[in-house]
Amino acid sequence: MNLRGAATAVFLACAAGSAASLWGVQPANAESAGILSEFSPKLGAGLSLGSPVTLTADTISYDEETGVALAEGNLEVGFGTQTIRADRIRYDTKSGEAEFAGHVLYEQDGDEFSFERIVLNLRSELGVLYNGRIRISSNNYQIASERFEKTGKRSFLIRKGELTTCPCEPEPDWKFGIGRSDVTIDGYAISRDVTFKIRGIPVLWFPWAAFPVKLARQSGLLLPAFSHSDSKGYSIQLPYYWAINRWSDATFTLDTMTKRGYRPEAEYRFVLNNASEGGVRATLYNDRVTEDTRYRFYGENRFRYSEHWSANARWDIPSDDQYYVDLVDEDILRTARHVPSRGFTAWKGSSDSQSLSVDWVTDLQGTPDDNTVQRLPEYTATILPRSLGKTGITAGGEWQATYFYRRAGDREVRGRGSADLARAFTLFPSVFFMPFLSLDLLGSVPTSDETGTRTGGRAIPNGGATLELDFRGEFRGRGEGRLVHIISPVATFRFVPRVDQSDITVTDMWSRVGRQRQFLFSLYQRLLRVDESGPSEIALLELSWAIEAGDRNGTGSPYVDPLSPYVRTLRDQIDLAASRTVRNDSRSSDVFARFRVVPALNWRLSGEALFDPGNGMFTTALVGGEWRKDERTRALLEYRTTRDLAEDVHSLFHVRLFRFLGLETSADYSLKNQEMSNGSATLTFFPRSECWSVGFVVNKKTRPDETSFRLTFSLNGIGTIGM
């Protein structure tokens, strides 16, 4: 073998060993593994090599007597996704000492390690790296120092170093100056004489500080948060993070409130696979204001095991009805009458599915005799529509078995099922007709005798037909672009006979099914733009209206009729929420409309409404428009009304007032109560690099009356602290 080949093999081993020693790299297989073993058996034996390793240089030499290999000029070593460049490499095969000199650069998956000179012993894995910088692309971490001393396999000593995530040159907007730091990879950088600088000007000095140097998650204290509210007073949250293992972690937070005392909270999180994750949270403390022990236990999870099995759960259990008002920020919980908790597990096949669920509803209205219905448990089996031979008829169905539990009131076991048949016909191109038949069954057996309830049941046959038309028109423009207009009118008739259901306890919406001879008319329109990038929606319009052919009589149930169309049940739900009598005598339903328009780039108009043509009033309506360039530059205005319940205006405005100053505002104004119900404003200062920011946040609530202020300071890649 010639000397150049020997030198090349030696340098391949040297580069691979240096990468493994310094950065933990395990390159795959070098070319000519036998050569590596021959010239550097001790080094080659410790590496797992498997993809080609290449070496280029202007000159390469190897002295067999001294065992010294030398490569100079435009030197580059590549293996896999890693590359080492330098002006000169000297490697002593006898002592194991390698010296990289002149613009040493190591690159791996976007990360960069650049130094003027590196002296490293590949056998002891100790050495010194002079005048260099390390940049981690995932979080833009940049560490610079005059001297990196490798003191162990996974430890370094840094003298006169700097740490920042700000990429500005020549001077970053902010940085930490470090006099000395002992760094352990996948551990901490324990630093002394630490100075925080803004544009090179010292602002804060710390005699000691610890920075995480993690290739994986690590336990430790998180940044605290500060806030103020009328209910809690001034509060500070001190969180501690526990990295349990690679798939789970936990956070323990102590919330110190000047009015209500100390409230500890624990949160456990897990991720089992890409489709399975969840969290459990719990808090228990003694409230100084109420002088009671208060708690909250809540969480959620989502679990998928193969394509067939799944399990979900979501629960929220407070100690008392006032807990959300006093201690929770979410308005949906502060104003709720009930809070549901639910869990289920399900199996889904190609043509059927089964599930077992539990539903528990917490009543927040303080009712002395809680008659809230709980489902403990409910089993559901579903057969998806399938063809019956060559008849063209599809058949499907659903069966349920439920145990209804009440703390006060009757308890019962109920079974319900439905069987469905349908047949689709194509009368003409774009004209479809589908008749359908269904049988709904229900049986109820009481398990308690609070009110003398007896066993009951019913069978309700029903049927009808759907006629659907599908029309399309194309309008070609210049080039490859064109407009596509789709119109789909749909008419459905459903007949449900009158059936006696008086012996069935009213427990849920299926307890009463009303008589129907009802037509439902719907119109769907879409306008699409089709070009080289694909289809995009310009406009959408949906209209629905129902009319009863005969007299519409009430069912005697406070629940909506499950066989009624959406356009009717929505109105019934609003009437129930507003404590109005459900209009059982109205043959004509309200008219439901929904639209969406994209008139120009970044613009979007949308709305939906339920209009009562009888009195010319909107039962509920929402209309709004949004201009959005990105998350920091957008404006939204919405008007929302629900008759006799609410009338609000919602606005949102995000803008950069100047390059360095951002404003984010949102507000909800109640036209019904003539007051602002919620509002917030955030003013954020950004430097030229946007790698740090200072913000001032104001939040205002009126029910209960509460105002909070918060000052935030954020370092990109480090974290945010709020006070």
pLDDT tens readout for residues 155-193: 889 888 888 877 777 778 778 899 999 888 767 788 899
Alpha-carbon torsion angle 594, 599, 603, 608, nearest 10:
-10
State what percent of residues in the chain have pLDDT above 70. Answer: 84
Domain membership flag for residue 231: no
Assign 81 a pLDDT band (cuts: 50, 70, 90). low
Q: What is the pLDDT of residue 655?
A: 93
The full DSSP string for 64-89 is TTTTEEEEEEEEEEEETTEEEEEEEE
Comparing 15-19, 31-35, 317-321, 397-401, the range with the smallest average pLDDT is: 31-35
704 preceded by a cis bond (ω within 30 of 0): yes
Is residue 711 a contact partner of residue 722, using CB atoms and an 8 Å limit? yes
Domain membership flag for residue 526: no
Q: Are residues 98 and 149 in the same domain?
A: no
Q: Are residues 27 and 82 in the same domain?
A: yes
Q: For residue 395, give the amino acid letter.
A: A
Q: Which helix (H) or strand (E) holds 567?
A: helix 566-577
> For 412-427, what is the mean pLDDT?
95
What distance in Å separates the CA atoms of residue 38 and residue 385, rounded to the nearest whole number?
70
If 0-12 CB within 10 Å is exposed, 13-18 middle and 19+ buried, where does residue 675 land?
exposed
Q: Are residues 7 and 54 in the same domain?
A: yes
The CB density around residue 583, as the number of other CB atoms within 10 Å, is 16
Assign 568 a pLDDT band (cuts: 50, 70, 90). confident
Domain membership flag for residue 284: no
Q: What is the pLDDT of residue 583?
A: 64
- Is 332's pLDDT higher than 70? no
Comparing 17-26, 124-133, 217-226, the range with the smallest average pLDDT is: 17-26
Q: Which of 216, 246, 281 is the last residue of a domain?
A: 216
Q: What is the pLDDT of residue 368?
A: 53
- Is 37's pLDDT higher than 60? no
Phi-psi region at 458: left, alpha or beta (left = phi > 0; alpha = psi -120 to 50): beta
Higher local confidence (pLDDT), 153 or 289: 289
Q: What is the pLDDT of residue 250?
A: 94
If 0-12 CB within 10 Å is exposed, 13-18 middle and 19+ buried, where does residue 645 land?
middle
What distance in Å separates the CA atoms of residue 540 and residue 242, rounded to the nearest whole number?
49
- Is 326's pLDDT higher than 90? no
Domain membership flag for residue 200: yes
Is residue 89 a contact partner of residue 70, using CB atoms and an 8 Å limit? yes
Comparing 55-59, 204-208, 543-547, 655-659, the range with the smallest average pLDDT is: 55-59
> For 501-517, what is the mean pLDDT?
89
Q: Into how many domains does the chain fold?
A: 2
Domain membership flag for residue 34: yes
C-alpha pair distances (Å), 477 with each of 174, 527, 597, 600, 601: 54, 14, 20, 17, 19
Q: Are residues 148 and 97 in the same domain?
A: no
Q: Which helix (H) or strand (E) holds 17?
A: helix 3-23
**Most confidently modeled range among 180-189, 201-210, 401-410, 622-631:** 622-631
Domain that holds residue 102: 1-106
Maximum distance among all alpha carbons in the chain?
110
The CB density around residue 7, as the number of other CB atoms within 10 Å, is 23
Is residue 98 a contact partner of residue 75, using CB atoms and an 8 Å limit? no
- Is 275's pLDDT higher than 80? yes
Q: Which of 157, 183, 216 is the last residue of a domain?
A: 216
Comparing 470-474, 612-616, 705-709, the range with the smallest average pLDDT is: 705-709
Domain membership flag for residue 643: no
Higher local confidence (pLDDT), 699 or 332: 699
Is residue 394 a contact partner of residue 406, using CB atoms and an 8 Å limit? no
Closest CA to 694 of 713, 668, 675: 713
Q: Are residues 38 and 90 in the same domain?
A: yes
Q: What is the pLDDT of residue 45?
A: 32
Q: Are residues 84 and 181 in the same domain?
A: no
User: For the chain, how are helix, strand and coil distributed in percent, rounded to 5?
Assistant: 10, 60, 30
Is residue 363 a contact partner of residue 349, using CB atoms and an 8 Å limit? no
Q: Are residues 59 and 156 in the same domain?
A: no
Classified as helix, coil or strand, 98 is strand
Return mean pLDDT, the chain.
83
Pull the structure tokens for residue 523. 């119109």
Kind of pairing between the strands at 201-213 and 261-273? unpaired
Higher local confidence (pLDDT), 15 or 528: 528
Q: What is the pLDDT of residue 703?
A: 63
Q: Are residues 102 and 19 in the same domain?
A: yes
**Most confidently modeled range among 55-69, 258-272, 698-712:** 258-272
Q: For residue 505, give the amino acid letter.
A: T
Q: Are residues 62 and 154 in the same domain?
A: no
What distance in Å separates the CA atoms of residue 132 and residue 115, rounded to the nearest whole number?
4
Q: Are residues 7 and 97 in the same domain?
A: yes
The CB density around residue 204, as the number of other CB atoms within 10 Å, is 10
Q: What is the pLDDT of residue 127?
A: 87
Pull the structure tokens for residue 305. 């095991």
Q: Which of 84, 106, 128 is the last residue of a domain?
A: 106
Pull the structure tokens for residue 374. 């709980």
Q: What is the pLDDT of residues 239-250, one digit of tens each?
A: 898 988 888 999
Q: Are residues 5 and 80 in the same domain?
A: yes
State what percent of residues in the chain have pLDDT above 90. Answer: 37
Domain membership flag for residue 89: yes
What distance in Å separates the CA atoms of residue 378 and residue 395, rounded to the nearest whole number?
24
Q: What is the pLDDT of residue 352?
A: 93
- Is 24's pLDDT higher than 60? no
Q: What is the pLDDT of residue 29?
A: 36
Q: What is the pLDDT of residue 699?
A: 76
Q: Are residues 102 and 143 in the same domain?
A: no
- Is 688's pLDDT higher than 60? yes
- Is 49's pLDDT higher than 70? no
Cα angle, residue 621 at apex, residues 510 and 618 outer, rounded to 5°: 85
Residues composing the chain? 723
Is residue 14 a contact partner of residue 69, using CB atoms and an 8 Å limit? yes
- CA 154, distance to chain mean position in Å, is 35
Q: What is the pLDDT of residue 44?
A: 33
> For 100-128, what is the mean pLDDT?
83
Domain membership flag for residue 21: yes
Q: What is the pLDDT of residue 1?
A: 40
Assign 3 a pLDDT band (cuts: 50, 70, 90). very low
